[in-house]
Copies of this chain bind each other. A is one copy, B any other.
Amino acid sequence: MARMSTTIDPFHDQTFHAVQARDGHRSGVDAILLAAIVPPDTLGRVVDFGAGSGVAGMAVANRCSRASVDLVESDPAMAALARQGVALAENDHMAKRLKVIDADVTSSGQQRREAGLLDDCYDVVIANPPFNDRGFRPSPNTLKAAAHMMEEDLLENWMRTAAAVSRPSGRLFMIMRPQNLRELLDALVGRYGAISIKPVHAKSNKPATRILVSAQRGSKTPLRLLEPFTLHQDSGAFTIEADIIFRGRAGFDLVSA
């Protein structure tokens, strides 16, 4: 295998680092926002679905000192990057609480369990489903219906697996695009309740570019739409609140908010 050109990137004010491909998908804002909604006092086991190079899961481990985090990734090259990241000297303070699992979140129960992703054992599932780079855009071409169906299937499969690996009353935290809101809500029905949605706006006067989602396994509490979060000031600089989040100094409370 040709050696991939990589970079070592700092996060949370350089309190942890990740190894990322120079030319591939690079994590940043979404992964750190996702980790920011996991309560810092989280105890027990967390699993990061589709972890990629592991930024979101490592950010959770960095924020939640009493949680262990399993990074689940089906792409061997990405899983290798995640393992390199976990092994960095800069991450020694949390390396014992991190593990990379080579598994496909969408695979069947038996395959998934054999890969090490077991039923009924996680207190928290986090997920940043891979819609963002696949270009879900309205277009008249014939691929559209098929692409859309694939997305519905992916969310349905991810939420089925999330429910299966979750302990009773376990929490789910996600970041995704608002345009897939219906597919998400349909995939959560009968599995998760207490759904809280926090819109994320790049600019305060533009439509939301992301939603942060919290849910609880088996809950019957109705859906809530929380006050939004804005990333950028009019000048283009990050808002004070965003800056604090990216430095790893604070999070969002979607659970009790």
Contacts and interface: CB of A to CB of B under 8 A. Distances in A.
Interface in A36-50: none
Contact of A222 (B179, B205, B221, B225): B179
Contact of A182 (B136, B182, B226): B182
Contacts of A224: 178-179, 207-208
Interface in A138-192: 138, 144, 178-179, 181-182, 185-186, 189
Nearest to A226: B207
Given A186-B186, A199-B199, A207-B257, A179 B223 contact: yes
A201 interface: yes
B223 A206 contact: no
Contacts of A223: 178-179, 181-182
Contacts of A220: 138, 144
A181 B204 CA distance: 23
A227 interface: yes
A225 B178 contact: yes
Copies in the complex: 2
Main secondary structure of the interface of A (DSSP, over half): loop
Interface residues of A, number: 30
B178 A182 contact: no
Interface in A220-257: 220-228, 257
A142 to B, nearest CB: 13
Nearest to A140: B220
B227 A201 contact: yes
B225 A181 contact: yes
A211 interface: yes
Nearest to A209: B225
A182 to B, nearest CB: 4
B225 A207 contact: yes
Given A178-B224, A208-B226, 13 more contacts: A138-B221, A144-B220, A178-B223, A181-B181, A182-B182, A182-B185, A185-B185, A199-B199, A199-B225, A199-B228, A207-B257, A208-B225, A227-B228
What are the 4 closest A-B residue pairs judged by CB atoms, nearest first? Answer: A179-B222, A182-B185, A208-B225, A178-B225
18 contacts: A137-B222, A138-B220, A138-B221, A138-B222, A178-B225, A179-B224, A181-B225, A182-B185, A182-B186, A182-B223, A199-B199, A204-B227, A207-B225, A207-B227, A208-B226, A208-B227, A211-B225, A228-B228
